[in-house]
Amino acid sequence: MSRIWEIPGGVHPPENKQQSMTRSIGHLPLPATLVIPLHQHIGAPAKVAVTVGQTVLKGQKLTDASNLNNLPVHASSSGTVIAIDDKPVAHPSGLNALCVTIATDGKDQWIEHAGISDFRQCDPHNLLQMITEAGIAGMGGAGFPAAIKLSPSNDKPVDTFIINATECEPYITADDAAMQEKTQDLIQGIEIVGHILNNPSRVLVGIENNKPQAIVALRSHIKERSIEVVSFPTKYPSGGEKQLIYILTGREVPSGGLPSDLGMVCLNIGTLIAIKRAIIDGEPLISRITTVTGEACGVNRNYDVLIGTPISHLLAHNEFDERNCSRLIMGGPMMGFSLTSTEVPVVKTTNCILASSYSEIPSDLPAQACIRCGLCAEVCPASLLPQQLFWYAQAKDQERLEAHNLFDCIECGACSYVCPSNIPLVQHYRSSKGEIRKANIDKIDSDNARQRFEFRKLRLEQADEQRQVKREARRLATEQARATNSTVQSGSSAADIIAAAQQRAMTKQSTPEQQKAKFERALLAAQSRLEEAENRLTEATAHGTAEQQARCSASLESARQKVDQTQNRLKELSD
């Protein structure tokens, strides 16, 4: 039994986990439509690769090229794509985002897929590629692409692999149920990741002691192996990545750093099961285990839900009582967010749907003044000063907020939970974080704009300067020319000038033969013009207006004159 460390702070809210653990993981009938948002992870969304009306099979990729940053999404069941448009998605903003809507055909027909029987013979790089192709993002809540976590960094080899089985938030039992019922898959997932990470020296499963059955299930399955199951006292928020690492190893992730800086990788139960299915069975991430709970639901239970299933479908099969529901929360009561619509779909990060009754989670009481009791500082798991942060958040003093390490806040909500004045502390921090991030982006933009403005100014100045230089050069040249001209003029007599002019005229004059040819050409052209003018005149007299006739006759007259003139010239020359 390895030593455990205790994190600072933490709270003990009522667990409320037993309600949803009375039955095994259930399955729901296939919903009529599946709404699959394209952006379900941290990073850029991939581009849609299907068209409306196209038939898709279960497990078919709906997006094009996938890499570490833009994970693909897959059809959760077979059917027809009926829409690709903006729909409400599971996001605290309640805004719409691009989704692919599939009308299921009920056949649930799989696309051709194959896994690898012996992953140990496989290059870790190929396994990572398969994990990316399967669209696996962290299923604990943040949705960080799993393959990025597992990609080797050159400077720090991974020596500790931590499996986050804590599930510290009240009500949620999805991981607990998965550990009890899908133990074999989980162990295989751990082995695969161990292989990818080049067999780290320590593999630790961190689990709270409020899940005795899961602990027994895990221990009985991994008797002979080098995986250690570490149980520790229940406290919220032990399941935060940084908190769990401290509990299990006593080491702190540096501020602004990642677990990989310590040579650690931390993955969630759901993610590991998804990895097993991707590698061994060749199945992409198209379903997950989600807890449906709360007093407003008649049935509290875990379900293996297809990604894209509308929440309304889940609720309809759980005797949902809308009148008794104070709020519909995606995630847990501490860190989850309220949904504004029941039409939003289940996504890769949906671990719980909590339909709470009014007695369970009453509506927020109005915030009162801070009485500086200091309870928030006592419960903060990141050892921050929530009270100070609150003042600065109200004053919008971003410099001081950052100086007080606002960005180390994990938004666990323990401070808001204990606040006797009902101050929504964590909401203040979230909004301040957003504002600071926005200010940083604006700063980059404005620096960029300044640079462009200054470059443009420089360019205009340079162009102006060049123009000035050219003008100056031209002026000098004319002055010089004038000066030389005047010297020439003053130095010669009038007779010389006349002689020079005659000389010039002589050189210009051509031989009589050339002149004759020129006049002949001119005569020909003039004659053809005359003919044309005559034709036009006859046409105009036949169809045109009086004005046209007049114009045509005038041009005819001028053409005739031209011909006469040229003939005269030619005669003169031959004489």
Residue numbers in the known binding site for [4Fe-4S] cluster are 370, 373, 376, 380, 409, 412, 415, 419
Residue 30 · residue 95 · CB < 8 Å: no
Binding residue (CB under 8 A) for other proteins from 115, 194, 424, 544: 424
Q: Distance (Å, rounded) from C-alpha 205 to C-alpha 78?
A: 36
Binding residue (CB under 8 A) for other proteins from 452, 467, 470, 482: 452
Quote the least distance from Cβ 97 to other proteins, whole Å. Answer: 5
Stretch that binds other proteins, among 50-58, 135-143, 253-261, 354-362 (CB under 8 A): 354-362
For residues 30 to 69, the per-residue mask of contacts with other proteins, x marking binding by CB under 8 A and - elsewhere, is: ---------x------------------------------
Of 371, 389, 483, 481, nearest to 436 by C-alpha is 389
288 binds other proteins (CB under 8 A): no
Quote the least distance from Cβ 137 to other proteins, whole Å. Answer: 16
Amino acid letter, residue 562: K
Cβ distance to other proteins smaller for residue 453 or 517: 453
Residue 291 · residue 353 · CB < 8 Å: yes
Cβ distance to other proteins smaller for residue 55 or 96: 96
Cβ distance to other proteins smaller for residue 201 or 462: 462
Quote the least distance from Cβ 474 to other proteins, whole Å. Answer: 25
Stretch that binds other proteins, among 139-147, 189-197, 207-215, 423-431 (CB under 8 A): 423-431
Q: Do strands 26-27 and 301-306 pair parallel, antiparallel, or not at all (unpaired)?
A: parallel
Cβ distance to other proteins smaller for residue 262 or 406: 406
Binding residue (CB under 8 A) for other proteins from 69, 324, 427, 549: 427
Q: Is 279 helix (H, G, I), strand (E, B) or coil?
A: helix
Cβ density class 415-439: b for 16+ within 10 Å, e for less: bbbbbebebbbbebbbebbeebeee
Residue 271 · residue 145 · CB < 8 Å: no
435 binds other proteins (CB under 8 A): yes
Among left, alpha and beta (phi > 0; psi -120 to 50; other), residue 383 is left
Cβ distance to other proteins smaller for residue 431 or 538: 431
431 binds other proteins (CB under 8 A): yes
Residue 143 · residue 150 · CB < 8 Å: no
498 binds other proteins (CB under 8 A): no
Binding-site residue total for other proteins (CB under 8 A)? Answer: 41
Is the Cα torsion angle 282, 283, 285, 287 positive or negative in sign? negative
Cβ distance to other proteins smaller for residue 133 or 397: 397
Using CB atoms within 10 A of its CB, is residue 451 exposed (0-12), middle (13-18) or buried (19+)? exposed
**Residue whose pair of structure tokens reads 């898959």 in the numeric block:** 185
Cβ distance to other proteins smaller for residue 433 or 551: 433
Residue 68 · residue 145 · CB < 8 Å: yes
Quote the least distance from Cβ 368 to other proteins, whole Å. Answer: 6
Quote the least distance from Cβ 371 to other proteins, whole Å. Answer: 13
For residues 360 to 379, the per-residue mask of contacts with other proteins, x marking binding by CB under 8 A and - elsewhere, is: --xx-xxxxx----------
**Alpha-carbon dihedral 142, 144, 146, 152, rounded to 10 degrees:** -130
Binding residue (CB under 8 A) for other proteins from 12, 225, 450, 467: 450
Residue 307 · residue 348 · CB < 8 Å: yes
Q: Which residues 6+ apart lie within 8 Å of 99 measured at CB?
A: 35, 36, 37, 38, 83, 84, 85, 86, 87, 89, 345
Of 562, 558, 556, nearest to 539 by C-alpha is 556
For residues 394 to 413, the per-residue mask of contacts with other proteins, x marking binding by CB under 8 A and - elsewhere, is: x-------------------
Interface residues for other proteins in 63-122 (CB under 8 A)?
89, 91-93, 95, 97
Q: Distance (Å, rounded) from C-alpha 4 to C-alpha 60?
A: 44
Quote the least distance from Cβ 420 to other proteins, whole Å. Answer: 11
Binding site per annotation, positions: 370, 373, 376, 380, 409, 412, 415, 419
Cβ distance to other proteins smaller for residue 209 or 394: 394
Quote the least distance from Cβ 106 to other proteins, whole Å. Answer: 32
Kind and range of the H or E run holding 468 = helix 425-491
Cβ density class 365-387: b for 16+ within 10 Å, e for less: eeeeebeeeebbbebbbbebebb
Q: Which residues bind other proteins (CB under 8 A)?
A: 39, 89, 91-93, 95, 97, 358-359, 362-363, 365-369, 393-394, 424, 427-428, 430-435, 437-438, 442, 445-450, 452-453, 455-457
